[in-house]
Amino acid sequence: MKLKIPQPISAGIILSYTCSSQCKHCIYYSSPKWKGNWMEEELLIETLEILSDMIKRSSFISFNYGIHFSGGEPFLNFELLLKAVEKAKKLNYTPILVETNAIWCTKEKTVLEKLEALKKAGLDGILISVNPFLLEYVPFKRTELAIRCASQVFSNKVLIYQEIFYYEFKKLNISGTLFLHEYLKRGGYGLYYAELLPVGRACYELSFLFKKYPSEVFFGKNCKTELLNPYHVHIDNYGNYITGFCAGLSLGHISELKSLVKEGMDLKKKPLLHILMQDIKLLYQIAVNEYGYQPLSQGYISKCHLCLDIRKFLVSKNVNFQELSPKEYYQQVI
């Protein structure tokens, strides 16, 4: 049975999973512990060329259109980021955006020089992350410097994600870093209003913020919507084509994308994806009955927590589903 994958509308390229921080909410389990391999230039160019015929262009500065570069922290390899922007510009992507955690923003002159160079190469705008998980690693004064310089270079094409935290940290007079428990002691009000996805590292590191449910609560749910979502797809530095927020689950290699869209994906070759498109209960039953998975006694914060916990278990048992990629993702999951 073949399943057609919708043509992507907007995409992010994960230049590397390596990051200066190890945020408790990170979907991609980025951290300094990753091996540090960056996307090969050849793969980067191939990826941009393949996506070029598909990605929707727009004059809006939005992650729902065009292309963006992310990680990990893309500014840790500025040379590669610059090349990526230059190539994207040649292919007429718009908008071309980048995300950053601002760790590199120590000196105003250097920050301005880097942003100007990116703008000259074709970058349209920038997203600067602000949240209490990042605040454990990045001094807030660096975030403020990044926002000030970015506003100078890109004027209103600067996205602060999430703004609620930016104003909250200013009100709290923070300039350095702050541990999460200290932030929570001081109120942590931003968390009541902010978007916090119960996926990735949050499933384990932030489970105390969520209500937990037994696995049965999620039975009957499938992941068609997420896996076939054409918006904000990601291609990682290994070439994995990732949809939704389903980090560690590859629909295939980017070089296969045109055929996945035109001819469809052979579900016999991707049994795990086939199962997830039907009912997460099937994944649970296979894991328990065939491989001896033991459900978590404390329960799960979401369908994705159950899914990730089972996937991590399967990889630890060397069960070889090709969809479970990159394998290093699972080595990061505690």
Which residues are near ligand SF4 by CB under 6 A? 223, 226-227, 244, 246, 249, 276, 280, 303-304, 307
Contact 311, 287 (CB under 8 A): no
Cα gap 224→329, rounded to integer Å: 22
Nearer to ligand SF4, 114 or 303 (CB): 303
Cβ atoms of 119 and 86 closer than 8 Å: no
What torsion, rounded to 10 degrees, do the Cα atoms 134, 135, 137, 140 define? 120
- The residue (of 68 and 303) whose beta carbon lies closer to ligand SF4 is 303
Q: Measure the CA–CA gap between 231 and 174, rounded to whole angstroms.
A: 35
Location of structure tokens 């055929």: 259
Give min distance, CB of 6 to ligand SF4, in A: 16
From 136, 60, 71, select the one nearest 99 (Cα to Cα): 71
Task: Name the minimum Å distance from CB 118 to ligand SF4.
Answer: 32
CA distance 216 to 236: 32
Ramachandran class of 267: left when φ > 0, alpha when ψ lies in -120 to 50, beta otherwise: alpha
Residue 224 Cβ, how far from ligand SF4 at the closest point, in Å? 9
- In the bound state with ligand SF4, the residue whose beta carbon lies nearer, of 139 and 248, is 248
With respect to ligand SF4, which residue has the nearer C-beta, 51 or 227? Answer: 227
- Kindly state the smallest distance separating residue 200's Cβ from ligand SF4, in Å: 9
Residue 244 beta carbon to ligand SF4: minimum distance, rounded to whole angstroms: 5
Give the bridge partners for 233, in sequence order: 11
Contact of 312 with 330, CB cutoff 8 Å: yes
Of 201, 124, 222, nearest in space to 115 by CA: 124
Rounded to a whole number of angstroms, the minimum distance from the CB of residue 137 to ligand SF4 is 25
